[in-house]
Amino acid sequence: MLGAGAILALIVGGANAWLRMLSAGRRFTVSTVPRVSVVIVPGAKIGPDGLPMTYLRGRLDIAVELLAAGKADEVLISGDARGRSGDEIASMRSYLIAHGIAPDLIRPDPEGLTTRATCERAHDLFRIDRAIIVTQHQHLPRAIALARGAGIDALGVDAYRDCTRKTLVRNTIREWLAAPKAVAALTPSTTPAAREGHPPGVPKP
């Protein structure tokens, strides 16, 4: 009989495998990603100085590259305007403007408190049905899967991750452990797209 540890490992491993399956064929680079109308940048921790920290800065840098390359027309910044580290939205907006993005091309969502909330609000409130999501490689499978479950035809681009080994390991573990919750959120009873007659993880036509 399997012990509790082995069962937990199977659940976590299976959830991560399923998220990777849902995101398969949807991960690109700036040069290879198809053109869409909007880039979605999920929020992350900001520093004591109010500036984006490494992970968030990497996402924003890729968003700037995508707009400069003509891969999208605008960017949706989605995060917590009242986060523990500070106002993620204000920080993200200031950073983008400082790097050449016109203010009228930035759409803020101050209530994107989780990846799931970011995706569902992007679809339900901002009427986005196709987008590029920019985040780190560990987070991309979960972000793409949740976006598809929300009804968005999501493509992913990996963000830079110039960080310490400790930060990389911590975030990798965090993503692995978050996978089962994401899978649970993609069940027919909880997925907006599924409630409207679309299977979980499959975008609307």
For residue 179, being part of any structural domain is answered with: yes
Host H or E run for residue 135: strand 130-135
- Residue 83, pLDDT score: 85
For residue 8, being part of any structural domain is answered with: no
pTM of the model: 0.80
112-170: pLDDT as tens digits:
999 999 999 999 999 999 999 999 988 899 899 999 989 999 999 999 766 666 666 67
For residue 105, being part of any structural domain is answered with: yes
What CATH number corresponds to the domain at position 117?
3.40.50.620
For residue 153, being part of any structural domain is answered with: yes
- Residue 15, pLDDT score: 65
For residue 29, being part of any structural domain is answered with: yes
For residue 59, being part of any structural domain is answered with: yes
Tokens found for residue 58: 């990497």
Supply the range of the domain harboring residue 73. Answer: 21-195
Domain count, the chain: 1
For residue 109, being part of any structural domain is answered with: yes
**Average pLDDT score over the chain:** 83
pLDDT value at 30 more than 80? yes
For residue 34, being part of any structural domain is answered with: yes
Give the 3-state secondary structure of residue 173. helix
> Who wins on pLDDT, 60 or 21?
60
By the 8 A CB rule, do 61 and 174 touch? Answer: no
